[in-house]
Amino acid sequence: MNPYSTRRNFLKSTAQASALVAMNKAIPLSAQAKAFALEEITINELQAGMKSGKFTAHSITEMYLARIAEIDRPRINSVIEVNPDALSIAAQMDQERASGKVRGPLHGIPILIKDNIDTADKMQTTAGSLALANTIAPRDATIMAQLRAAGAVLLGKTNLSEWANFRSSKSTSGWSGRGGLTRNPYALDRNTSGSSAGSGAATAANLCAISIGTETDGSIVSPSSCNSLVGIKPTLGLVSRAGIIPIAHSQDTAGPMTRTVADAAILLGALTGIDTRDNATASSRGRFLNDYTQFLDANGLKGARIGIARNYFGFSERVDKLINEAIDTIKRLGAVVIDTELPNKGKYDDDEFEVLLYEFKADMSAYLATRGASAPVKSLQDLIEFNEKNRDRELQYFNQDTMIKAASKGDLNTPAYKQALAKSKQLTQSQGIDAALAKQNLDALVAPTDGIPWLTDFLNGDHFAGGCSTPPAVSGYPHVTVPAGYIHGLPVGVSFFGAPWSEGKLIKYAYAFEQATKHRKTPQFLPTVNLQT
């Protein structure tokens, strides 16, 4: 079964949620935090400020670090570690600018990355697990090297659902043994979704300019939806995965999580390219771009043929109403809107999970081998044993049944694995998204990204009501989510997804929708939702 849907059970308000609300009420938000000078600022605005002398990379970095110190740990807990070299990197970028060298649009721009992305610096890379605590990766992930080359200032790393939410069928998203629980800045008793929980919450809370998340199935787009962000899950192979702690090579990818479509387009362009460390990127030759801002067209939906994947609606009347309003906007912006259904829904969930189990076992062992002697664990079995020995810290809220299932699997030559992989790809690609697009000559598909952010509940785990992440995730096709509005103050996103390598198209449609609606609002760190509003 789909691990991201079957592990999310119906949840009720619990004593823990009540305690969390009480705790948050006791922590006032200072006037300084409320009046943050960089609130909602964009990459282009930061660049203009540095060019004019209003800002420097150092002053911008100082402001973000001060905001993290002011509000993150006591309220949302999204940053797992701050980079001790952030200010020195920023100072270097200022020196280069003063000498006439500007590397590009990310020069001097502070960024947070998920703590499953290797950095060969003074910071740890742990996937939120105590099993890798106090260990340093020997080499930067390829995307980290690209970000450094582009002039980005690495502020630190974000918390995540431990091991990217592939440990338990009853997990609570946003929790890790090393980092604790990340809370949703729109309502602190609500979940951020996972696994890129920290990247979502931190970017929404204006703790950074931009951030990076990773996705196997939903882990960029779902926390983006639940935190009123733009998220891009790229085509498999557009962005290198080398140096990123894996779940499954047939679905894993990194991607932007930002407050605007323009910022996501800028960031995506810095992440693409052929990488000999990741063979999947060879398929992007002749297809990747280093600049996706050319697709930022406010009239981009005019004449587009947009299919509404109606069989991905129906899990929430409130969400349906909000997304139908979004569809009305898409029509008003000149798109031809056609109701359709995406074939094979639910027919490959078991196959997807089977593939992920096999690949997790193989890919995790391959990754751990790159960490060398410094890593105390060398295999998936080592991780399982570590968790058992440290049950009071690692298994205090939920177990590791998913890891145990993965460890029982054979290698990637096993016929059951090959059959499940072939079936899931066929049902989502040629007989899925490709078929839906071809049937009515569609440019893209639209559906609700996710449900309403649910109450965090350690007793029952996540409650995932519905969403459309699985078809583009399993197929390896691109997926862009953009804020669609709010339900009782809680964010909901709308998704645009389609054919492989169609990121430009999807960015164009998402940008046109964003510019016409401007739905995103800054979070207010409320302790809970007022259902009377």
Amino acid at 139: R
Q: Are strands 444-448 and 490-497 parallel, antiparallel or unpaired?
A: antiparallel
Q: 184: which 2 tokens?
A: 């949703």
Beta strand pairing call for 479-487 and 230-233? antiparallel
Answer whether the bond into residue 430 is a cis peptide, omega within 30°: no
Which residue has tokens 């989502």?
428
Q: Are 497 and 444 in contact (CB under 8 A)?
A: yes
The count of C-alpha atoms lying within 13 angstroms of the C-alpha of 117, restricted to the half-sphere facing its C-beta, is 33
- With residue 180 as reference, give the H or E element that holds it: strand 180-181
Do 440 and 338 touch, CB atoms closer than 8 A? yes
Question: Which backbone phi and psi does 346 adopt, to 5 degrees?
Answer: 80, -5
- Looking at residue 512, its amino acid is A
The CA distance from 148 to 136, in Å, is: 18
Angle (CA) 186-189-192 rounded to 5° is 60
Q: Write out the two tokens for 119.
A: 């950095």
- SS3 letters for 128-169? CCHHHCCCCCCCCCHHHHHHHHCCCEEEEEECCCHHHHCCCC
Distance between CA atoms of 363 and 263, rounded to whole angstroms?
Answer: 31
Q: Do residues 67 and 192 touch, judged by C-beta distance below 8 A?
A: no
User: Which amino acid appears at position 283 of this protein?
Assistant: S
Q: Cα separation of 251 and 297, whole Å?
A: 30
Catalytic residue numbers, as ranges: 114, 195, 219
- Identify which of 59, 174, 190 has the alpha carbon closest to the alpha carbon of residue 523: 190
Q: Which residues, at least 6 apart from 443, have a Cβ–Cβ distance to it below 8 Å?
A: 304, 305, 306, 437, 498, 505, 509
Do 296 and 507 touch, CB atoms closer than 8 A?
yes
Q: Which residue is listed with tokens 């295999």?
A: 379
- Beta strand pairing call for 336-340 and 305-309: parallel
Interacting residues of 525 by C-beta distance below 8 A, sequence separation 6+: 24, 29, 71, 75, 76, 185, 188, 205
Q: How far is CA 450 from CA 65, 225, 263, 320, in A?
A: 31, 7, 22, 11
DSSP bridge pairs for 212: 113, 256
DSSP letters, 192-213, are --SSSHHHHHHHHTTSSSEEEE
